[in-house]
Chain A
Amino acid sequence: MIEEPYRWVEAIANRREYIETQLAAGSPIVALGYSDGILFLTVGRARQKLFEIYDRIAMGAIGHPGDIERLRMAAIELASTEGFTRSAADVSLRRLAHYSLSPVMKSAFEQVYGAPFLARLLFAEVGSKPAEDLFLRVEYDGAIATNGAAVSQARQHFAVLSATKPSADLMESFLKKERAASATFPETIKTALDAWTVGHMALSEDGTKELPERAAISKHRQEQLVAAGIEAAVLERDSRTAIRYRTLSDEEVRSSIAD
């Protein structure tokens, strides 16, 4: 079937379509930088979607739990052995994503007789100041998105992960508009939750290109929060401790957004 080149291209295109369908149900994830760290937030019903990878690195993922687990374990294993043999300062998200995860995911994706990784990953690494924060999205085909910023440009201080491209685009334009560098932690939580809501609305309505009205956002958010839980974690910038990852409980998040 794939002896001829165009067949291979066709097989890859089919596989891309298949993976996109498989990922279509995932709840969006927001990573948003603020002065004291990086907030990860999503709303869900069943599985845990935010994970600690190493001292300063966290991961959010949508996709098949089995594939997420394999990639998560691989990332932790690589970071831990590097941190053990050299030092925690030598563990970098850039190396982890570019040289370890991406090539493997690309190979799995292009081997048309094998199963690809049904997962889309969002990583963030907290730096000693906001300008040093790094956000990376790793796609199921190994493609890495660094938030649209080129290597030498200032990075945007957020990243999103969603099941569809239109939804992710809307979330990004929402955050571009709403994010304030001086935002307090409760304000950051509110913004992240609104960005999640925008992404979730775009998944249920077909083809919306426009940002919804503020009232519509809060209505949808309130409806969703009745039945689902808020999962959140922070990477703290506080350099007094080595381990920066801290999970936030549902109550902790809800109490800080209560108006």
Chain B
Amino acid sequence: MGSKAGRWRRTALAGHLETGHEGSPKKDAQGRSQSIEAVSPAHGAIMDRLPAAFDQSFSGASEDFPALLRRKALLQHAPDLNASDGNRSFVPTESTTILAFKFSGGVLVAGDRRATAGTTVVYDRADKVLEIDRHSIMAIAGVPATAWEMARVLEHSFQYFRRTQLQEMSVDGKVRALSKLLRDNFGFVMQGVGVVVPIFATYDSSAKPSARLYFYDAMGAQFEVTDYAATGSGSPAVRGILYYENNWGDKPLQKLNEDEAITVALRALDTAAEADTSTGGVDRGGKIFPLIKTVSREGITTLPEEKIAQVFNQRVA
């Protein structure tokens, strides 16, 4: 477990503010089931042999899904950051390009399809734009294994919250949940594995503005944007294009219709791919197009490949 000072630092860095989840699970379980045992001493004996679910049932209301997974050892803790880690330098290597911006129909999120390991292209059809629930999209730049796991945890967290608490998690709660996962993952980032820099887009018809868009840094800070966001190695070029389009283009991004928005997204990704080897752009020979999803009041729409191909051939190629 390491020295006391070491533990404290890990706790502070990993953002484990609930001290209840530190320490051994056994102690945790006993501490929490006090009230049950007080009512019926006989239960304690039975429940020790049974799934933790029954032992912990009263704590369910205050426990979030990642904490439940850690209790069952289904989700790893990030490693401790020891003194010897001090000379490690943090190199953000998110080799990809993803972008998102608000348009007249909600939020559009687009990502290229290339996955790389160093200078090798390992996969040409990677899916980096992921649906989390009916109205939330997470797009990922970074290590796929960690990112997909994070998306899975997040997806289940929102459902688990709704099912146990009998109400939908608020948009702020969802944004914060992703932030917390990133902070919990920071030990891996400092070891040079597992960096994830996502974009989160959601639509909440009861709020004003309804379309909400956030980007994150690898430590979990969240930044809400008014118009557009881009991350990954190809993002400087994309940011330049989106800034230009928003200020001096035919119309601001938020006024674009769907076809115009697709055009801007495809042109931006093609530009990023021009200078960045890690970004796939459009593979004309293999007919591989970027993945584009939109989120609106009605929910998430994955634009069909034919539609993207059609816009590409008319306005980009």
Contact = CB atoms under 8 A, between A and B. Distances in A.
Interface of A: 48, 51-54, 69-71, 73-74, 76-78, 80-81, 83-85, 100, 103-104, 107-108, 111-115, 241, 243
Nearest to B72: A81
Given A108-B46, A243-B159, A78 B53 contact: yes
A111 B46 contact: yes
Contact of B156 (A80, A107, A114): A80
25 contacts: A52-B162, A52-B163, A54-B163, A70-B54, A70-B58, A73-B53, A73-B58, A73-B60, A73-B61, A76-B60, A77-B60, A77-B68, A84-B156, A85-B74, A100-B51, A100-B53, A103-B50, A104-B46, A104-B47, A104-B51, A104-B54, A108-B46, A111-B45, A113-B40, A114-B42
B164 interface: yes
**Secondary structure type dominating chain B contacts:** helix
Nearest to A71: B57
A113 B57 contact: no
B160 interface: yes
B40 A114 contact: yes
Given A78-B51, A80-B160, A111 B57 contact: no
Contacts of A77: 53, 56-57, 60, 68
A51 B162 CA distance: 11
B207 interface: no
A187 B54 CA distance: 39
B40 A115 contact: yes
Interface of B: 39-43, 45-47, 50-51, 53-54, 56-58, 60-61, 65, 68-69, 72, 74, 134, 152-153, 156, 159-160, 162-164, 166
A115 B51 contact: no
A156 to B, nearest CB: 27
A125 B174 CA distance: 28
B163 A76 contact: yes
Given A113-B40, A114-B46, 17 more contacts: A48-B166, A52-B162, A71-B57, A73-B60, A77-B53, A80-B156, A80-B163, A81-B72, A84-B69, A84-B74, A85-B74, A103-B50, A107-B50, A108-B43, A114-B43, A115-B40, A241-B134
Nearest to A105: B54
A65 to B, nearest CB: 13
Nearest to B131: A242
B42 A74 contact: no
Contacts of A83: 156
Nearest to A85: B74
B166 A113 contact: no
B39 A115 contact: yes
A114 B50 CA distance: 16
Contacts of A80: 65, 68, 156, 159-160, 163
B64 to A, nearest CB: 11
